[in-house]
Amino acid sequence: MAVETISLPSIDLENFPEELGKLTAAATGMGCFRVFNHGIPVELMTEAKAVASSFSQLPDDKKLGNNDVFIGSGFRSHTAFTPLLESFGIYDAASTADVLAFCSSMEASPHQCEILSTYACKVHALAVDIASKVAEGLGLVGCSFPDWPCTMRVNVYDYTEESIGLQAAQLHTDSGLLTVLLEGEIGGFEVVDQTGKFVAVHPQPGTFLVIIGDVGKVWSNGKLRNVQHQVVCTQAAPRVTIVFNVASPKDGVVEPHAALVDEEHPRLYRPLNFAEYRKLRDTTDSRDGSALLLWQADE
């Protein structure tokens, strides 16, 4: 059965505070939205994807130089969860030193290092700005996100004629506060809407896709929607994406923001240790957001 294609809400980042209500409705409703007029040159976005694509051409022993800092944070080859995907991870993408160390481990050229470090720096600033706007839309004042740890993954999908129609990445939610996704030119990204059905979201050049994650749901006391999504192979052509994730508070402990808890809005979640939560998701194959049930507050 064909999946309906929808257009996500598009937020003009140069038109604030006028767009704040639209952003808030998208973050609490669908759980994802696009941003444009974000200030990051299209040329840099294109070059960053070219650098990402080059890593898939490395010998296997070089790929393995991208070591795990925590489970699943480094190089991942084809797995049951991502059968058509190779991906590489940068543990602290907010740190230029960490980005350059990753580039060194991949034996990237000086030009490639410059492209990836510049991209990470600019997208970090963008992600922090979006997170602040999301907080403002919830009525929170003075929320600051620059010191929240961030991760970045570069994904290279290996599509063939035989893989058309297959899942390239299984159904999941993102684990962190929010994700800023640079899409490839090839479609196949599908989200679960508020009615529970899959809808397809085609890429839109020059924009970023913002996805609310599990930490966002906990931190907002259930107001933000951690949207489930998957990737399906739609054509035999390379697909490259870059995922920038604002993970959790610096101390790694996530709990509902105090200003969002009162008699009318009781606490929905107990404090969550992000490292433990992320490990549980990966080791129990519960990446669809269901693991949050274990942290629900007592009645």
Comparing C-alpha atoms, which of 276, 261, 260, 270 is closest to residue 295? 270
pLDDT of residue 197: 95
Reported in sequence order, the residue ranges of 131-177 that DSSP labels E, i.e. its strands, are 150-157, 167-172
pLDDT of residue 172: 94
- With 0-12 CB in 10 A as exposed, 13-18 as middle and 19+ as buried, what is 250? exposed
pTM above 0.95, yes or no: no
Q: Give residue 299's pLDDT band: very low, low, confident or very high (50, 70, 90).
A: low
Identify the residue whose tokens are 């790694």: 252
**Highest mean pLDDT out of 96-110, 181-195, 218-232, 269-283:** 218-232
- pLDDT tens-digit readout, 38-93: 999 999 999 999 999 998 888 888 888 877 776 666 777 777 667 788 888 888 89
**Highest mean pLDDT out of 86-90, 169-173, 175-179:** 175-179
d(CA 156, CA 153): 10
d(CA 32, CA 53): 25
Q: Which residues pair with 191 in a beta bridge?
A: 199, 229
Say how many C-beta atoms besides its own lie within 10 A of residue 237's C-beta.
Answer: 12
Domains of the chain: 5-295 (2.60.120.330)
Give CB contacts under 8 A, 24+ apart, made by 194-200.
194/29, 194/30, 194/225, 197/4, 198/3, 198/230, 199/3, 199/4, 199/5, 199/6, 200/3, 200/4, 200/5, 200/6
What's the rounded mean pLDDT across residues 140-155? 91
d(CA 217, CA 196): 17
Residues 6+ apart with CB under 8 A from 269: 218, 221, 222, 255, 256, 292, 295, 296, 297
Q: Which residue has the higher pLDDT, 104 or 226?
A: 226
Percentage above 70 pLDDT, the chain: 97
User: Alpha carbon of 246 to those of 96, 98, 154: distances in Å?
Assistant: 16, 16, 15
Indicate the average pLDDT of the chain: 92
pLDDT at residue 139 tops 60 = yes
For residue 111, give the 3-state DSSP assignment: helix
d(CA 226, CA 213): 5
